Structure formats: C-alpha cells, structure tokens
Amino acid sequence: MFPFVLQLGTPVNIITTPPLVYAQSCVNSSSTTLKPLLNTGGLYIFHPTNERSMGQEKTCSTPRAQLIIINHFNNTGCSTGCLPASNSTITVLGDNPKPIAFKVSTKDTTVTLGPGHYTVDEPRMSVFYGQVLSPDCSGVISAGETKKCIIVNSYSNNVQTWLDKINNIKIQFGYSPPYPFVGNVTQLNFKVSSANTSKGLDLTHIHIAVIKNVTANFNNSNTINNKNYFVTFDNLTAPHGIFSLKYQFLQEGAHQVIIKIAARDSEVALASFDIPVLLPE
C-alpha cells in the first residue's frame, strides 16, 4: 500500500508519493519531542506503517550528565565550635548545572549538567577543618555519564588551645598538613575568641615568632624579621580573630610558635604552641 495525501476541504484524491524516510529513534537520550513537519503546504501526510508519526517528526535532545555529590563531616575529637554539615553550601560550575548551588544535607545530592568541564566547590568553613575532594569533583564529563564527587571535611585533631582566664581570651592554633615536612609549605591557623562565647575578637595587633634555627619563605616578605634562631611576623591584624600564615620550614625538629595579640576591647594576651617538623622519606 502506498502513502497518500489528503487536502482538507476538497474531494479526496489519492496521490502516490515516494516512500517516506523517518529519522532513527533517539539513542541514550534524556528526552524525545515531536513537532509538525514543515513545508507540507497544508497537507497532512499519513503513512500506513507508522501512525504515531502522522504529520510529525522526532527530534532528539543531548542527554544530560549526572553528578552525585556526597559530603561528609568528621567531627571526631571536636568538643566546642564543631561544624554541622548544614552550615555548608556547595556550588557546581559547568554547563547549565541544576541545581547550581545547594545547602548540604544528610542525603546525597544529584546534579544534572551538560557535557564538558565542571568543578565542584565548597568553601572551607573553619581553619581547623581539613578538606579532601575526590578526583571526580572536577574534570570532564560526557553526555549521559554519571560521576560521583565525595567531599570529606575533617576536624583537625592537632588543634591546641591556650586559655587566658584573667582576660577571658581563648587562643587556638592548628596547622596543615597534619604532618609538616621540611621544604613543604605549612599553613599555620589561628583563632582568637572570647573564652565564654567563642565569638571572634577584633585584633588590632598581632606579633608571631617561630623559634628554631630556621629561615623561612612567607607570602608577604614585608612582615618578616629573619633572625638566626627565630622568625617574626609583625603588623598583622584580624578583624574577626581568624587568620593564617603560610610558612616553609627548612629544618626538622620541634618548633615553638609564640603569639602576642592585642584586641580592641581586651588586654594584651600571650600564648605558646608546639609544632613538630619531619624530614621527608
């Protein structure tokens, strides 16, 4: 049986036409849509073997990729100021990600996005939490592909606390990586807060000395006084009581970090902390 054409509002005339060619069905597609055929001149085209395609044609859309994001918070060893996962917001950069940003929940979150380059970002909520992202938290994803991004935020168990009961000031110190090696850059993290409320203090002057027969590389050389057996950092401020320094140890052994702070509404406070430095194997 041949295909035939009907002109609406006129007597029926059967016209033989060449066999119609239909597009192949969508493969691995997230959606299939139907739209009217163009340039039919008001004719409705029927095909006896494919009644679903009457006057319409199939169009396929590019399948979207899926990114499953899992966020873990490890508060082992944390007694005060511990962070819940709900405080964190994750952002996905890529080809039209949905959702593009979301609050972390206890369940996994699935983000759909177009193929291409992508990056998952979660800002660090505290200097005392280390963050590790799995390899699939950035890279290239293909159409229809599913990848899994795992983010682990762990409380640093090497946090040391110095409590000044007279001035009601708490000074905390930590460092990352957890095992500093000679030659590697180590981040020294500090938080100065009220001992009662844990609210950060407005620090108008900070003086830090790292004691050991070392030299150092620091990201702002104007703040360094390099002595034979210690390095000092001066003229630092921290409006919210939280600050960090990047330091490169060049000798192994036990080092001592001494910090002297002056807060806007408090007396001067002094604290001392220890940090071991290892030789790389």
Class of domain 65-155: mainly beta
The per-residue pLDDT for 228 is 58
- Report the pLDDT value the prediction gives residue 226, as an integer from 0 to 100: 54
Output the DSSP codes for 16-50.
Answer: --PPP--PPPPSS-S-EEEEEPSS-TTEEEE-TT-
Residues contacting 274, CB < 8 A, separation 6+: 160, 254, 255, 256, 257
CATH top class, domain 160-277: mainly beta
Burial class from Cβ neighbours inside 10 Å (0-12, 13-18, 19+) for residue 233 reads buried
- 62: Cβ–Cβ under 8 A, 6 or more apart, which residues? 29, 30, 114, 115, 143
| Residue 61: predicted pLDDT | 66
Amino acid at 164: D
| Residues, the chain | 281
- How far is 243 from 131, CA to CA, in rounded Å? 17
What pLDDT was estimated at residue 219? 42
Report pLDDT for 20. 46
- Residue 189's nearest CA partner among 168, 158, 214 is 158
In this structure, the number of other CB atoms found within 10 A of the CB of residue 36 comes to 9
Q: What's the CA gap between 227 and 216, in Å, rounded?
A: 10
The vertex-234 CA angle with 230 and 239, nearest 5°, equals 135
Alpha-carbon distance of 127 to 53, in angstroms, equals 61
Domain chopping of the chain, boundaries: 4-60, 65-155, 160-277
Q: Spell out the per-residue pLDDT of the chain, length 281, in tens.
A: 444 444 445 454 444 455 444 444 444 444 444 444 444 444 444 444 444 444 454 555 679 999 999 988 888 877 767 777 777 889 999 999 999 999 877 678 999 999 999 999 988 777 788 788 899 999 999 999 999 999 988 887 788 999 998 889 999 998 888 888 998 899 899 999 988 887 888 898 999 998 874 433 344 444 445 555 788 888 888 888 888 888 998 888 889 999 999 988 777 899 999 998 888 87
Could you check whether the bond before residue 99 is cis, i.e. omega within 30 degrees of 0? yes
DSSP state of 278: B
Whole-number Å distance between alpha carbons of 68 and 11: 60
C-alpha to C-alpha distances, 279 to 183, 228, 236, 251, 254, nearest whole angstrom:
9, 21, 30, 8, 12
Angstrom distance (rounded) from CA 272 to CA 64: 54
What was the pLDDT predicted at 218? Answer: 40
> Could you give the angle at the alpha carbon of 100 between the alpha carbons of 97 and 105, nearest 5°?
120
